[in-house]
Amino acid sequence: MKHVLKTAGALAACALFGNAWGQQAAAAPEPGASAAAASDPGTSANAPAQSVVVAAKRENRVSKGATGLPLEIKDTPQTISTIDAQDMKDFGATGSNDALRLGTGITVEQYETNRATFTSRGFDIQLTQLDGLGMTNDWGTVVGQLDTALFDRIELIRGANGLLTGVGNASGTINYVRKRPTNRDGGEAGLTLGSWNNVREVLDYNKVLTSDGAWAGRIVATHDDGDSYLRALHDRQTTLYGVVDGQIGDGGVLTIGASYQDARQKSPMWGALTFVRADGSQADFPVSSSTSQDWTYWNTKTRTAFVEYTQALGAGWEAKLTYNHHDTDQHTRIFYAYSPTGALNDDGTGLVGWPYASHDITHNDIVDANVSGKFTAFGRRHDLLLGVSRSRAVNFTDLYPFDPADIGNPLPAFPYGGDVYPEPAFGPSTRDSDGHQTLTRLYGVTRIAVTDELKAILGVNAVRLLRAGASIYGSGGAVVNPKTEKVSPYVGATYELTPDALAYVSWSDIFANQDQTDINGLYLPPVKGVNVETGVKAEWLDRKLLTTFALFQAQERGLATYGGLTDAGNYWYAPQDVKSKGFEAEVTGRLAGGAKVTLGFTHLVLTGPDGHSTYTWVPRNTANARFETRLAALPALRVGVDGRWQSKVENGARQGAYAVVNAFAAWDVTSRATVRLNVNNVFDRKYITGVENGGFYGAPLNGAVSLDYTL
């Protein structure tokens, strides 16, 4: 029942995304331009400056997600895993939640059909970024899924990452890196037909808009429509994205983009299945079981817009100004089935119903300005980034009242059909809750070359957080401290053991605001703590393969932990100190024969203030393996397999250790056309999607056939 029996604003949760193009690029020439001209525009009198500058921005972008500096993954003193666009397409991961299941050390807790939480190293991930900027997604809950056709890759940065956001815990950060214009005309169209009448159409097209290459644009459009293995569930989603970039003046690059997503879910599940029986045993239902009713729906519209201007200042320095807007509009008519005792009777009865209707809106705006470059001191070159940002989030919830007699009516034995609880007569909407928060940050980070082998990264982040109004979940809490000010340091170091291997260490301060309330209805104070990570990274096979081994340890003091129900029926939370420690190992890249491989394993220990094991819903061990190759005997055929395993979990309901295996085969019919077959859950494993907040059964054996055509 956790997170479900909320007061009015229970559904206003939404990830808060920033939308900046937070990428610094390595130089890359336009077709026909020399490498020297691309790396130094001033050396070429014949090449137009604008085409060279923009070409450099469009190619070979590198991550800034962990520190803000343009570092390769190997040189970053934290563990970072990458899921690229080809992997997402090959394995049919069209939604962001499905894509995250491909990553090392990430657990997706899908506790409803439209809401999920992500965990890493034992804690909920509360920071989601687009192109390196963003605010927290409150409570760690994310509504809906992003369409993966929008992204070049997804970066999973594990460990504390408060440097660039001002807030963060010891779990990690998900950074979605969106597609950008390229230097070539062309694109791809795709059609997919899948199980349960699912149809997907995709268009991704790039166009160089001017003859000198100074301006280019890209559009992405997708449409999905289909049923589900769950009773009566139907999803329809349309996504549109457009972005243009080009030269402004001498050394300036302007980027403008916007996206729109319309997701409509019919007969969604609000809340999870009740698995526990009164005698303590666990019920077993058909995989298709759902608590929803036929009259329910959950419709979400999401709009984003962003403008970024980058100006080259000379001598390797640049300034960047970014504005991002993100808003979400949700309309719900949903139904929750729960047991007042927390358990089912032996005959499957014991559930009662709770209908709900709301209109939830969130508005998020972020302005960020920074300057970065290199400077010389003590005979060596060093990196520096200085910036300031201001973020504002506003949310409100309107409720549609109905007769209280329609709450708590008994339901027939589960599983039941979609017509057992009539829709109430909802009245006109009334404002139930609203709130806002403003986060102002001053930040800076430098990478000091102490020696040729030793690099030190020093960062500091000063934040001022102002809050007013109700929680985004409408818990009705009182803001005891509306203003929070905090200065957080970040320290890291890397040492090159050989040209291909380095050791690293990083130390991060933890500070994260909390929206949960205590038994008296007061917001809990922010979480505080420390995160320490040490590791070794090495490149092999001419930098084609990267191996990472990391030891981590974190302590979060005052973490909101479920305490029970108040007399008014609201959830309350108590602060708890939680320690996490363990290790992660990953191998990713290409083997000598060209095959692509990813192997990952995470082991962790979670203990509470008494030193005993806690948070038993988090798997202590997870492993993932992904392999893809082109067959030598049939060079037109690529095949791949992906597997994920996790150890047992329990939280009332129990789920034993299990593995899910997916596979694909792609045949290049012509130089332009590729046909792909995907088979998911190859061994038809029956499992529960999560037990932290409850869950339902994962999808059984299913498949899809796709045709991709290069334009």
Identify the CA nearest to 666 among candidates 12, 87, 203, 177. Answer: 87
Looking at residue 226, its pLDDT comes to 97
Higher pLDDT, 410 or 569: 410
Higher pLDDT, 257 or 17: 257
Tokens of 115: 């809401």
Higher pLDDT, 392 or 192: 192
Among 431-435, 452-456, 680-684, name the one with the lowest average pLDDT: 431-435
Indicate whether 43 belongs to any domain.
no
Indicate whether 171 belongs to any domain.
yes
The Cα 155–Cα 177 span in angstroms is 8
Going by pLDDT thresholds of 50, 70 and 90, the confidence category of residue 690 is: very high
Per-residue pLDDT tens digits for 118-147: 999 999 888 888 887 776 655 567 788 899
Looking at residue 53, its pLDDT comes to 61
Going by pLDDT thresholds of 50, 70 and 90, the confidence category of residue 27 is: very low
Looking at residue 439, its pLDDT comes to 86
Going by pLDDT thresholds of 50, 70 and 90, the confidence category of residue 3 is: very low
Per-residue pLDDT tens digits for 479-517: 556 777 888 888 999 999 999 999 999 998 887 777 788
pLDDT at 434 over 50: yes
Looking at residue 465, its pLDDT comes to 84
Q: How many of the other CB atoms lie within 10 Å of CB of 79?
A: 30
Looking at residue 33, its pLDDT comes to 32
Among 41-50, 250-259, 406-415, 530-539, name the one with the lowest average pLDDT: 41-50
User: Which residues lie below 8 Å from residue 711, measured CB to CB, with a gap of 6+?
Assistant: 186, 187, 188, 189, 205
Per-residue pLDDT tens digits for 254-267: 999 999 999 999 99
Indicate whether 651 belongs to any domain.
yes
Maximum C-alpha span of the chain: 84
pLDDT at 230 over 50: yes
Higher pLDDT, 536 or 364: 536
Task: Give the angle subtended at the CA of 86 by the CAs of 83 and 91, to the nearest 5°.
Answer: 85
pLDDT at 25 over 60: no
Among 7-16, 145-154, 367-376, 418-427, name the one with the lowest average pLDDT: 7-16
The Cα 435–Cα 465 span in angstroms is 13
Looking at residue 490, its pLDDT comes to 87
Strands (E), 52-171: 61-62, 80-84, 107-109, 115-120, 123-124, 128-130, 141-143, 151-158
Distances 463 to 64, 90, 503, 513, 558 between C-alpha atoms, Å: 20, 41, 31, 12, 20
Identify the CA nearest to 483 among candidates 471, 465, 469, 470. Answer: 465
Q: Which percentage of the chain shows pLDDT scores above 70?
A: 86
Domain residue limits at 399? 63-351+358-710
Among 428-442, 444-458, 646-660, name the one with the lowest average pLDDT: 428-442
Q: Which percentage of the chain shows pLDDT scores above 90?
A: 66
**pTM metric for this prediction:** 0.88
Q: How many of the other CB atoms lie within 10 Å of CB of 376?
A: 9
- CATH number, domain containing residue 371: 2.40.170.20
Going by pLDDT thresholds of 50, 70 and 90, the confidence category of residue 269 is: very high
Among 125-134, 183-192, 365-374, name the one with the lowest average pLDDT: 125-134
pLDDT at 68 over 80: no
Indicate whether 50 belongs to any domain.
no
Q: 415: cis peptide before it, omega within 30°?
A: yes
pLDDT at 42 over 60: no
Identify the CA nearest to 158 among candidates 80, 75, 64, 67. Answer: 80
The Cα 71–Cα 65 span in angstroms is 9
Looking at residue 52, its pLDDT comes to 52
Report DSSP letters for 647-711, one per residue.
--EEESEEE--EEEEEEEEEEE-SSSEEEEEEEESTT----BS-SSS---BPP-SEEEEEEEEE-
Identify the CA nearest to 577 among candidates 560, 564, 562. Answer: 560
Indicate whether 528 belongs to any domain.
yes
Indicate whether 57 belongs to any domain.
no
Report DSSP letters for 544-580, one per residue.
TEEEEEEEEEEEEEEEEEEEEE-TTS-EEEEEEEEEE
The Cα 64–Cα 70 span in angstroms is 5
Looking at residue 37, its pLDDT comes to 31
Indicate whether 84 belongs to any domain.
yes
Helix (H) or strand (E) holding 335: strand 317-338
pLDDT at 41 over 50: no
pLDDT at 169 over 70: yes
Residue 577 corresponds to which amino acid? Answer: D
Give mean pLDDT, residues 54-78: 68
Residue 426 corresponds to which amino acid? Answer: F
Give mean pLDDT, residues 58-64: 54
Facing residues of 157 across strands? 80, 173
Among 13-22, 44-53, 230-239, 568-577, name the one with the lowest average pLDDT: 13-22
pLDDT at 63 over 80: no
Give mean pLDDT, residues 56-74: 64
The Cα 490–Cα 24 span in angstroms is 21
Q: Assign 3-class secondary structure to 382-434.
A: EEEEEEEEEEEEEEEEEECCCCHHHCCCECCCCCCCCCCCCCCCCCCCEEEEE
Indicate whether 10 belongs to any domain.
no
Looking at residue 514, its pLDDT comes to 79
Give mean pLDDT, residues 74-92: 92
Higher pLDDT, 58 or 701: 701
Looking at residue 13, its pLDDT comes to 32
Higher pLDDT, 50 or 198: 198
Among 300-309, 375-384, 431-440, name the one with the lowest average pLDDT: 431-440
pLDDT at 365 over 50: yes
Per-residue pLDDT tens digits for 651-679: 999 999 999 999 999 999 999 999 999 99
Torsion of CA 530, 531, 534, 537, to 10 degrees: -150
DSSP SS3 for 162 = coil
Contact between 225 and 236 (Cβ < 8 Å): yes
Contact between 589 and 544 (Cβ < 8 Å): yes
Report DSSP letters for 596-640, one per residue.
EEEEEEEEEEEE-TTSSB--TTS-SEEEEEEEEEE-SSSTTEEEE
Provide the number of structural domains found in the chain.
1
Going by pLDDT thresholds of 50, 70 and 90, the confidence category of residue 450 is: very high
Sign of CA dihedral 17, 19, 20, 25: positive
